[in-house]
Amino acid sequence: MNSLEEKRKSIEGLKPFRLVKHLSLSSLMVILVCTLIISGFISQKAKEILLHKSEQYALLVAENLNHQVFFQFTLPTLITEGQIRLSRESQSERLDKVVRNTIHGFDVDRVNIYSAEQILTYSTEPETTGSRGDLGEVFERALKGESVSVLAGEDESFFLLPWKRTSQKQLKTYLPMWEERPLSWKRGKILGVFEITQDITRDYKIIQRFQLIVALSFMLFVSILFAAIFIIARRAERIIGQRAAERIRLEEQLHQTERLAALGEMIAGVSHEIRNPLGIIRSTAEMLHNRAESERQKRFTSIIVEEATRLNGILTEFLDFARPKTLKPSYCRLEEVVERNLKMLEAEFQKLGVVVHKDYHTRDYCMEADFDLLYRAFVNLFANALQSMPEGGTLSVRTGLVNGKNGSPAEVELRIEDTGHGIPGDVMKKIFNPFFTTREKGSGLGLAIVQSIIDSHHGMIEVESEEQKGTTMIVRLPLTQPESANQPQEAAG
């Protein structure tokens, strides 16, 4: 239930950010589509400019061609021969010479001249001369004096972007052929139609290349922007997740503290009520034991004394748990506290066949702490390690300096690692709960008292364990207590 509640809180903490992330990604997709459309629009405008330029170029060629053909071929031929018959080889050759001399130097592929009846009377490719054209509306518009251009080999496009390209692009421009009036800017009678064909493949490829560059540039820009936002979003999501988890941990710690405070008050009251009559029972049993005459009576009274002593020890643990931890800080070295614990338990290590490995690295750094409280806390940790190795094993004790969290000053760290049976996963979450124990004897307050002492020192305790491989208890303590932060953090041991 607690796990589900934590997940729910974590998800609720991330909901606003996820909404922002989705909106950002959606906006990027909209920007990508819009940029593709804009790039297609820009390219389309460039193509229109190219076509307009080519059409103006064809109009210039047509005007020059019309002038040269009229004055160098039409007018002289009518004067000398009385009529125009292009079936005559001399007239055909003379017209061809005039046309080719005129378009020489111009970027024109082919010139066709149609009569008013849409008969192809002249072509720079003479094989088709004499045939009847089927030009339709464009021819009719040219006969009325308009200029009309048609693009042959146009690409198929999607969203203004080409997706199917043809190999050659030709622009055919149809313009009227008219009579020239000397010394006048007005045009005379329309005699036929010019068809001027330009190969604009090269220019078109430049436009397509420009179009591709624009599209790829926009896509690259949006991709870089997307990647940057994605990386920032992932990092922000991770940070927000960590903060949500930290908030949940602090809330749980606060609730646990409130529960323990209420429980401590109750235990303190009950323990005092029980200790007084228990003391009377024990002293009475000791007196009866001294006056007993038979061995049977002495055995019964000794049982009463023994159990009363055990109950008094449990009450002492209860009171230790319930009693507020008032620190009496002084500068001490972590190794001094640890060494005192190890010496006190030395006989027990030898009895169980436990080998102790020491690895100290705090050098001459001292910390501000209550020596006696830490000693009591570490006794519980070492006792638990010994109880997990009833058939012997290895106990590794390591100390060192570590960096504090969120830029806080350095801390001292103690690692107590055993090779015992380990802690099951379902038990791990409960080991610091008051009165929780997996042993037949014991109050289940040992680790709860340890955590209370470590918390009173503004430190932290963590557990790493794997079944059948052992357990590591990790304790981190600040070098100075917050209310004494202005005092030196380092001193000689």
**Mean pLDDT computed over every residue of the chain:** 78
CB 178 within 8 A of CB 188: yes
CB 109 within 8 A of CB 173: no
For the segment 478-487, the average pLDDT, to the nearest whole number, is: 66
> What is the DSSP code (8-state) at residue 432?
T
Whether 4 shows a pLDDT value over 80: the answer reads no
Q: Is 246 exposed, middle or buried (0-12, 13-18, 19+ CB in 10 A)?
A: exposed
Q: Which residue has the higher pLDDT, 312 or 162?
A: 312
Of 239-248, 321-330, 470-479, which range is least confident? 321-330
- At 331, list the tokens: 């500068």
Tell me which residue of 429, 445, 441, 428 sits closest to 264, measured CA to CA: 445
- CA distances to 37, 114, 118, 121, 249 from 132, in Å: 43, 9, 6, 9, 92
Whether 396 shows a pLDDT value over 90: the answer reads yes
Which tens digits make up the pLDDT trace of 253-303? 777 667 666 666 666 666 667 767 877 887 887 888 787 778 887 788 888
Q: Which residue has the higher pLDDT, 102 or 4?
A: 102
**pLDDT band, very low/low/confident/very high, at 491 (cuts 50, 70, 90):** very low
For the segment 176-204, the average pLDDT, to the nearest whole number, is: 80
Q: How far apart are CA 160 and CA 116, in angstroms?
A: 38
Give whichever of 128-142, 283-297, 313-327 has the largest mean pLDDT.
128-142
**Geometric angle at alpha carbon 185, from 179 and 191, rounded to 5°:** 15
- Percentage of the chain with pLDDT > 70? 78
Q: Is 304 exposed, middle or buried (0-12, 13-18, 19+ CB in 10 A)?
A: middle
CB 91 within 8 A of CB 85: yes
Of 42-51, 96-105, 138-147, which range is least confident? 42-51
Whether 164 shows a pLDDT value over 90: the answer reads no
Whether 397 shows a pLDDT value over 90: the answer reads yes
Hey, how many other C-beta atoms are within 10 angstroms of the C-beta on 66? 22
Residues of the chain with CATH 3.30.565.10: 330-493
Q: How far apart are CA 159 and CA 123, in angstroms?
A: 39
Residues 6+ apart with CB under 8 A from 3: none
**pLDDT band, very low/low/confident/very high, at 472 (cuts 50, 70, 90):** very high
Residues of the chain with CATH 3.30.450.20: 2-214
- At 48, list the tokens: 């229109």
Predicted pLDDT at 11: 46
For the segment 401-413, the average pLDDT, to the nearest whole number, is: 75
Q: Which residue has the higher pLDDT, 485 or 277?
A: 277
Residues 6+ apart with CB under 8 A from 68: 98, 99, 101, 102
The separation between CA 417 and the C-alpha centre of its own chain, rounded to angstroms, equals 37
Beta bridge partners of 132: 119
For the segment 238-242, the average pLDDT, to the nearest whole number, is: 79
Residues 6+ apart with CB under 8 A from 281: 304, 308
Which tens digits make up the pLDDT trace of 340-388? 999 988 888 888 899 999 999 887 788 899 898 898 889 889 988 888 8
For the segment 446-471, the average pLDDT, to the nearest whole number, is: 84
For the segment 123-138, the average pLDDT, to the nearest whole number, is: 83
Beta bridge partners of 463: 473
**pLDDT band, very low/low/confident/very high, at 417 (cuts 50, 70, 90):** very high
Q: 3-state class of 81 per DSSP?
A: helix
- For every residue of 325-369, DSSP letters joined together read -----EEE-HHHHHHHHHHHTHHHHHHHTEEEEEE---TT--EEE
Whether 111 shows a pLDDT value over 70: the answer reads yes
> What is the DSSP code (8-state) at residue 406?
G
For the segment 472-478, the average pLDDT, to the nearest whole number, is: 91
Predicted pLDDT at 2: 47
Whether 16 shows a pLDDT value over 70: the answer reads no
Predicted pLDDT at 46: 77
Predicted pLDDT at 490: 39
Report, at the CATH architecture level, how domain 330-493 is classified. 2-Layer Sandwich (3.30)
For the segment 112-140, the average pLDDT, to the nearest whole number, is: 85
Cα-flanking dihedrals φ and ψ of residue 114, to 5°? Answer: -105, 145
Q: How far apart are CA 231 and CA 221, in angstroms?
A: 15
For the segment 31-43, the average pLDDT, to the nearest whole number, is: 74
For the segment 422-431, the average pLDDT, to the nearest whole number, is: 77
CB 435 within 8 A of CB 444: yes
Q: Which residue has the higher pLDDT, 330 or 223?
A: 330
Predicted pLDDT at 36: 72
Q: How far apart are CA 167 and CA 205, in angstroms?
A: 10
Predicted pLDDT at 336: 92
Whether 415 shows a pLDDT value over 90: the answer reads yes
Class of domain 2-214: alpha beta
For the segment 301-314, the average pLDDT, to the nearest whole number, is: 78
